[in-house]
Chain A
Amino acid sequence: GQNIDQPTEMTATEGAIVQINCTYQTSGFNGLFWYQQHAGEAPTFLSYNVLDGLEEKGRFSSFLSRSKGYSYLLLKELQMKDSASYLCAVSSPSGGSYIPTFGRGTSLIVHP
């Protein structure tokens, strides 16, 4: 089966840096996604990692270690608008396809 774990909730201060961890145990691996979801809105794509290492995109970076089944999303220079749920999703085999399996999401609260 597929198991994806991430913290339920995190809080941080505006301007700070926060790291959201995701660990996974899946039968097969074809990439890991991070999505951002504001309350009542659609999830939106942030990043994709399929090889080990760090991918940087502006204030957001994502890291992957396949041997450890581990990823993190790093948010720098936090802004109030970064308050949202962050979803980790692992693409793994399912019935001949690769369907992303989502974790429960980490609710990030940024306060002044």
Chain B
Amino acid sequence: GAGVSQSPSNKVTEKGKDVELRCDPISGHTALYWYRQSLGQGLEFLIYFQGNSAPDKSGLPSDRFSAERTGGSVSTLTIQRTQQEDSAVYLCASSLAGAGQGKNIQYFGAGTRLSVL
């Protein structure tokens, strides 16, 4: 596709439910990143994929959060037993260069706005 695509664009869920967020990166981009952006806060790094493997999961806030990537393309971020503090915009980005290669310009999707009631 022309850019990074995320779905859904908005998700409202009840506390305790599980949610799945999807990211479709730019074709050919090997690196994929998930960030979380809360109101007035910077982008908080969650996880990074190089191909299908996740060399850096250091940002996942708890074991309720998990992510996978298949076929070196689409990634899903799953949040189990959602809590109100999970409410935020979840942004996905992809880059042509890997995260160890310097000028790895990131191309972002428009994000999924998650609201946990």
Residues of A at under 8 Å CB distance from B?
4, 30-31, 33, 35, 40-45, 48, 50, 87, 89, 91, 94-105
The residue that A31 contacts in the complex, of B42, B102, B110, with Cβ under 8 A, is B102
Residues of A within 8 A of B42 (CB): 4, 87, 102-105
Q: 10 tightest A-B contacts by CB?
A: A97-B99, A42-B108, A102-B43, A95-B56, A104-B42, A102-B42, A42-B110, A43-B108, A45-B105, A97-B56
Residues of B within 8 A of A42 (CB): 3-4, 91, 108-111
**CA distance in complex: A104, B35 (Å):** 13
B110→A48 contact, CB < 8 A: no
Residues of B within 8 A of A33 (CB): 105-106
**CA distance in complex: A98, B104 (Å):** 9
**CA distance in complex: A50, B33 (Å):** 21
A31→B33 contact, CB < 8 A: no
Residues of B at under 8 Å CB distance from A?
3-4, 33, 35, 40-43, 45, 48, 50, 55-56, 58, 91, 98-111
Q: A42-B110, A104-B40 are in contact. Are A99 and B45 (CB under 8 A)?
A: yes
Residues of B within 8 A of A45 (CB): 105-107
B102→A30 contact, CB < 8 A: yes
- Name the residue of chain A whose CB is nearest to the CB of B9: A40
Q: A45-B107, A95-B58, A96-B55 are in contact. Are A87 and B99 (CB under 8 A)?
A: no
* A and B contact pairs by CB, cutoff 8 A, 9 listed: A33-B106, A42-B111, A50-B103, A96-B55, A98-B100, A98-B101, A99-B33, A102-B43, A104-B41
Q: Separation in Å of the B38 CB from the closest CB of chain A?
A: 10
- Name the residue of chain B whose CB is nearest to the CB of A89: B43
Which has the most chain A C-beta neighbours within 10 Å: B33, B41, B42, B101?
Answer: B42
A91→B98 contact, CB < 8 A: no
Residues of A within 8 A of B55 (CB): 95-97
The residue that A98 contacts in the complex, of B35, B43, B99, with Cβ under 8 A, is B99
